[in-house]
Structure 1
Amino acid sequence: MTSTCKVWMAAGSLIVATLSPSGASAQEGSFLDRFKGVWIGSGHIQRNAETSPWNVNCTVNGDRAPDRISIQGNCRAALVLQRRIAADIAYDVRTGLYRGVYTGARVGPARLSGTRRGDAVRLTIDWPKPVNGDMQAEMIIVNEGSGMLRIVVRDNLVPGGPVQQTSELILRQR
């Protein structure tokens, strides 16, 4: 085989390897498929230390695109308060990170970034304005593939206070 032929074969192999979905990407795709469909459930949200937790009922729809999920819907507290919620999260095959945007907080859209371990994605929330005295919180999204989705937010309720669970939603796939 000539050296030119070897170079072209090596280049072709490199291109195929670069364009083919990796095992990791295929695993993430299988995980992301779990979020498709309509989800209905309830939970609680605590805005700050001065208020009691609000019980909420939520309905969201999960859509899937390559290496990306989009979850959009509404949560209702009592009979009159309703808030639109959404998360658009993409998986970066190169870095292994999940990144995206969460919409639904009173301070505006927040950036999300984190990693997955097993059935849980742990995301840092970067708020656009201070929430409870700081600019970050943690969101944990758990989907074991059994038709149940759990979303937890952990933050401090007072500046410098202990980090604790401030919201939890349990949703079931319809």
Structure 2
Amino acid sequence: MLKAPLFVAAMLVIGSGAIVSGVHAEENPSLDISGKWKGKGFVQKDDKSRKMNVTCQIEGEQNGNDIGFDGECRAMMVLKRAIGADIQREGVRYRGTYVGSNAGPAELDGGPQDDGRIVLTMTFPKTIHGDDIATMTIEPANDSMFKITTVDTMDDGQTKVTTAEITFERN
């Protein structure tokens, strides 16, 4: 398994990257994040905070069904944090570990949708916004671009907030 530092800026709940090549639920999907990527987008801690613009740099590596990346994201030119993940492909399922905010390592579990997106449930070791669950969606565009969107349900149990949306391009 690939090892990577697993952190994101404290104001982030979740946000990271991966790329998918033409996935359908009945196929055996593959993530290909090998190489260097740069990303731009925003993060938002909760429904009461402002969106903050971020830029990110990651480097991905793949060894068979083990997929990993590490890098860093910056916000407001003075805040920076390392990011990373270890993901294993098990058939059409993806399982792994990711850390967002200060909550500690989140367990990832999910798989491909019919439209090519990969949807991962993130389970944190402690409560964030009233529960320990959030969702990460990886949307492929092509071999040189992908988008990560993360959504969390707030304390009221109904309000959903996009906590990160970052589009990555291959360097």
Range class of TM-score, shorter chain: 0.7 to 0.9
Instruction: Give the whole-Å Cα distance in 1 for the aligned partners of 2:100 and 2:136.
Output: 13
Q: CA RMSD in A?
A: 1.9
Partner of 1:74, secondary structure, is strand
Correspondence 1:39 to 2:33: no
Correspondence 1:100 to 2:125: no
Q: Deviations over 1:48-87 (max 9, x none)?
A: 2231111111000110011121021100001211111112
Amino acid at match of 2:162: Q
Instruction: Give the whole-Å Cα distance in 2 for the aligned partners of 1:106 and 1:159.
Output: 21
4+ residue segments displaced more than 4 Å = none
TM-score between both structures, scaled by the size of structure 2: 0.78
5+ unaligned residues in a row in structure 2: which ranges?
A: 1-24
Residue of structure 2 aligned with 1:115, choices 111, 136, 141: 111
5+ unaligned residues in a row in structure 1: which ranges?
A: 1-23
CA contact under 8 A between 1:134 and 1:159: conserved in structure 2? no
Q: Are the structure 2 counterparts of residues 44 and 54 from structure 1 closer, same or farther at C-alpha, using a change threshold of 3 Å?
A: same
Instruction: Give the whole-Å Cα distance in 2 for the aligned partners of 1:151 and 1:71.
Output: 14
Q: Deviations over 1:5-53 (max 9, x none)?
A: xxxxxxxxxxxxxxxxxxx9x943xx32x31111102111111223111
CA contact under 8 A between 2:47 and 2:161: conserved in structure 1? no
Correspondence 1:132 to 2:129: yes
Segment of structure 1 superposing worse, 129-138 or 154-163: 154-163
CA contact under 8 A between 1:49 and 1:158: conserved in structure 2? no
CA contact under 8 A between 1:133 and 1:159: conserved in structure 2? yes
Q: Which has the higher contact order (CA 8 A, sep 6+)?
A: 2
Q: Displacement of 1:173 after TM fit?
A: 0.3
Residue correspondences, number: 145
TM-score between both structures, scaled by the size of structure 1: 0.76
Correspondence 1:156 to 2:153: yes
Matches within 5 A, 1:13-28: 27-28=28-29
Residue of structure 1 aligned with 2:166, choices 144, 147, 169: 169
Residue of structure 2 aligned with 1:79, choices 66, 77, 80: 77
